Structure 1
Amino acid sequence: MLVAFLIMLREGLEAALIVGIIASYLQRTGRRGWLPAVWIGIFLAMALALFVGAALLFASAAFPQRQQELFEALVGFLAVGMLSWMVLWMRHTARHLKQHLAAALERSFRSGRHQSWALIGMVLLAVAREGLESIFFLLALFQQSPNPLAPLGALLGLVTAGLVGFGLYRGALRIPLGRFFRFTGLFLLLVAAGLLAGSMRALHEAGLWNHGQQVLFDVSAVLPLDSPLGTLLAGIFGYQPAPTLSEAVVWLGYLALAAWWLRPRSLTASAPPTEPTSKLP
């Protein structure tokens, strides 16, 4: 439930920031009449994300056992890739997000007779990207760590993100978004490492990966998987009491690569993003 909540809180807040910046820019430039196009883009993006999620869920239910394991592995790999890209994108783009969006909006309004379609498409792509990332990540999480409370956590995270985004847009709320995205990014990278190890395990169960299957250690007597703490750690970080060599290699290798990606390159590059960090313009 906690991971699903954080996923939707982060993804929803990213989408809310983008939409809030667009709406604020329209108001400042006297284009308030274009706000309905923003809402159309939001609803279309949500419908697209829900359609893709439902289609994948129903399609996977009809697969035989081996194909289900393969599907689980592929969704896990895709979710890890999307999440890694999301963390890197926010790290390198958040500082200039306002300027990039303002320039894109001006280009759309200079495009001639199709300004409304350009604006709808811009909002659709921005929100749909966050929505599809959430769908794939949640689907992988639900498949590898079934939890009846996970959908509730996702819903609470989305509602919280909407309320926080509205508070930022209205100027009634100020929070250190730079620190928030940095903390949640590091946390979700740990979750992604667990999903990656679980995807390797699913590949083995599908009969497509049989290398490095020797068990490194077994702590099931100390911390069994069905214990409250074991279940919690499995749901958050993909904990396994008897990991195999291949699972340990991809888990450690992914975190090492992520640490290399996120290493401070200079004092300027490692500084937290300044726009937007506390409230929307």
Structure 2
Amino acid sequence: MLVPFLIMLREGVEAALIVGIIASYLRQTGRGAWMPVVWIGILLALALSLAVGAALQFMSAEFPQKAQELFEAVIGLIAVCVLTSMVFWMRKAARSIKAELHHSIDAAFETSTNKGLGLIVMVFFAVAREGLESVFFLLAAFQQSDGVAAPLGALLGVLAAIAIGYGIYIGGLKLNLRRFFRWTGVFILLIAAGILANSVKALHEAGLWNHLQTVVFDMSGVLPLDSPLGSLLSGMFGYIDTPTISELLAYVAFIIPALILFLSPSPAGQPKTASAGQGS
């Protein structure tokens, strides 16, 4: 439950930050009457994300066992790419995201006709990015967990993000966004490393990767995967109680350079989204 909650909280805060910047700028420039158009773009982006997620889930249910393992591996690899790009994109874009959104809004209104359509398209692509990122991660997370805990955690994350976004918009909540995105970014990279290791395992179970399958160590007697703590660590970090050489190599080869690059000082300096507490 914790991992889907955290991912959806971060994705939701990113989306809420984008929507908040758009709404504030429209209000400041006397264009507040266009907010219903913004909501159309948001709802279309959410509809696309739900449709993609439902289609992929329906497709996977029809696959035979080995094909399901391959599908799980592919979704896991896509999720790793998406999560990693999300973390590094926000690290880079945080400094200029507000100015870029303002420029996009102004560009949409510079068109003599179809101002509403231009605004819808701009909002749609801004929010759809977050939604589609969430879809691929949640598919990977749901495939590695049973029961209602993961969907419930995702729902709670969305609700918490909405509350935080609204608090930031009305100016009643101050949040150090730089610190928030930094530490959730570290956690997400650890999650991505675990998903990558499990994707390698799924490729083996699908019969496509049979190299380096020697078990490095066996923790099944001390911390079995089906124990409460083992299940928690598996859901959070992709813990495997009997990892093979290929799974461990994939984890280490990903997480070490990813953390070094992410935690290294940014040459661009501190991002302008270091804190947020006002809708403007």
Structure 1 residue matching 2:94: 3-state secondary structure: helix
The equivalent residue for 2:272 is 274
Bigger mean CA deviation after superposition, 141-150 or 60-69:
141-150
- SS class of match (2:96): helix
Q: Distance in 1 between matches of 2:4 and 2:259?
A: 23
Question: Is residue 58 from structure 1 mapped to residue 58 from structure 2 by the alignment?
Answer: yes
Q: Which moved more, 1:201-210 or 1:111-120?
A: 111-120
Report the alpha carbon displacement of residue 276 of structure 1 after superposing the two structures with TM.
5.8
Map of 2:146 onto structure 1: 146
Tell which deviates more after alignment, 229-238 or 251-260. 251-260
Q: CA deviation at 1:97?
A: 1.1
List aligned pairs for 1:80-229, cutoff 5 A. Answer: 80-229=80-229
Between the aligned partners of 1:154 and 1:186, the Cα distance in structure 2 is 19
Deviates more, 1:61-70 or 1:103-112: 103-112
Give the Cα–Cα distance (whole angstroms) in 1 for the partners of residues 5 and 54 of structure 2: 20
Give CA-to-partner distance per residue, 1:164-222, whole Å, 9 cap, x none.
Answer: 10110111111111111111110011001000000000000000000111000101111
CA distance in 1, matches of 2:249, 2:142: 23
Structure 2 residues not aligned, in runs of 5+: none
Judge conservation of contact 1:264–1:270 (CA < 8 Å) in 2: no
Partner of 1:16: 16
Q: Quote the offset at 1:278 in angstroms.
A: 1.8
Give the alignment's TM-score, normalised by structure 1.
Answer: 0.96
User: How far is 1:144 from its partner?
Assistant: 2.0
After the TM superposition, which parts of structure 1 deviate over 4 Å for at least 4 consecutive aligned residues?
Answer: none
C-alpha distance 270-234 of structure 1, shift in aligned 2 (>3 A): farther
Aligned partner of residue 181 in structure 2, secondary structure = helix
Mapped partners of 2:219, 2:211: distance in 1: 22
Higher mean alpha-carbon deviation, 96-105 vs 15-24, is at: 96-105
Distance between the aligned counterparts of 1:149 and 1:66, measured in 2? 26
Q: Gaps (5+ residues) in structure 1?
A: none
Encode CA deviations 1:89-109: one digit per residue, 9 max, x unaligned.
100111111111111111111
Aligned partners of 2:111 and 2:196: how far apart in 1? Answer: 43
Q: Alpha carbon RMSD of aligned pairs, Å?
A: 1.3
Query: What is the DSSP-based 3-state SS (H/G/I as helix, E as strand, rest coil) of the residue aligned with 1:11?
Result: helix
Deviation per CA, 1:50-82: give whole Å up to 9, x if none.
111111111100001111011000000001101
Aligned length in residues: 279
CA contact (8 A) 2:186 2:259 kept: no
- Which AA in structure 2 matches 1:65? Q
Residue 72 in structure 1 maps to residue 66 in structure 2: no
Cα deviation 1:16-44 (Å, max 9, x = unaligned): 00011001000000011111110001111
Note the C-alpha offset of 1:149.
Answer: 0.8
Deviation at 1:265, TM superposition (A): 4.5
Q: Which structure 2 residues correspond to residues 20-39 of structure 1 after superposition, within 5 A?
A: 20-39=20-39
Would the aligned equivalents of 1:97 and 1:276 in 2 still touch at CA under 8 Å?
no
SS in 2 for 1:196: helix
In the TM superposition, what is the alpha-carbon distance from 1:255 to its structure 2 partner? 0.6
Alignment partner of 1:232 is 2:244 = no
Partners of 2:240 and 2:154 lie apart in 1 by 24
State yes or no: 1:255 paired with 2:255.
Answer: yes
CA contact (8 A) 2:176 2:274 kept: no
